[in-house]
Structure formats: structure tokens, C-alpha cells
Homo-oligomer: A and B are copies of this chain.
Amino acid sequence: MVKRTSHQSADCLIARPLDAIGDWWSLLIVRDAFDGLRRFGEFQKSLGVAKNILSARLRNLVTHGILETVPAPNGGAHHEYVLTQKGRGLFYVLVALRQWGETYFSGPGEPYTFMVDTESGRPIKRLEVHAEDGRLLAPGDTRLADFRNQENR
């Protein structure tokens, strides 16, 4: 078996999610789902992805519980794809990725869209990592700990 390696049983909780969304299309599908797209054709048109690939990706996202199929609202026989709660949990990943993209991937002088608060129309704040007591943390200020070495949570 020379299959592509799966991270599904990895110990690391960064690796395992990548098994669900770690390819070139899945996160874009989720992004489109946040934008309200629900139907196969909408995703296909938005992404320009081949239909067999889209089909496989949607199926994978559904089996991972990120999307779920719901019957068409008009009583039709077709179904639509909507985010589950787990799928909506990816919001922060998308925001983080987008802020990184805004910072490092926007061409000079290039007009680009960015995230704003709908109510005020003004850009949202950058993501920050905080300690339990509110201190702002930098990358070097964190580490990984085993749950069993911690008495409290």
C-alpha cells in the first residue's frame, strides 16, 4: 500500500484536522459555505473546480461532519450543503488565514477585499492570543502540555 499518508490517527491535534481539510480545495469550499453558497453548482461556478473533484471534496467534508446535506428548501428532490457547528468552528481558521494573506500576499497597490464588521463597516481587529488572565501572548510564550499533567482546566 503506497496510498497517500493519512494523519487521521496522528497524536498531534494539528495533524488530524489536516486530514479533513488539508487539501487545496476544502477550505475554499468552507469559505464559500460561509458566504452562503449551498448548492453543488454554486460551488462549482465559484471555484472553477472539476466536478468530480468537487464531488469528492463535498463527500469528504460531509463524512467529516463539516458539512451536512439538507433537503432542498423548495421541496425539490435535490439537497443542499450547509455548515454544521463543527464546520462553523473553522471560522477562526479562515480569519487567521485571511489576515495572514492580507499581510503577506496582497500585491503592492493591489485593490483587495478585507474583512469588516458588518455593523460598522470597519475592519475587524487582528487576532490575538491571550492567556487565561488576559495577558497578550507571543508565539514563544506558549507550549504544549499533556492533559494528565494538569490538575485543572
Contact = CB atoms under 8 A, between A and B. Distances in A.
A143 B129 contact: no
Count of identical protomers in the assembly = 2
Size range of the chain A interface in the assembly: 35 or more
Contacts of A111: 146-148
Contact of A97 (B14, B23, B104, B141): B14
Contacts of A103: 89
Given A23-B23, A100-B89, A105-B17, A131 B117 contact: yes
A93 B91 contact: no
Interface string A127-145: 1011111110101111111
A85 B18 CA distance: 23
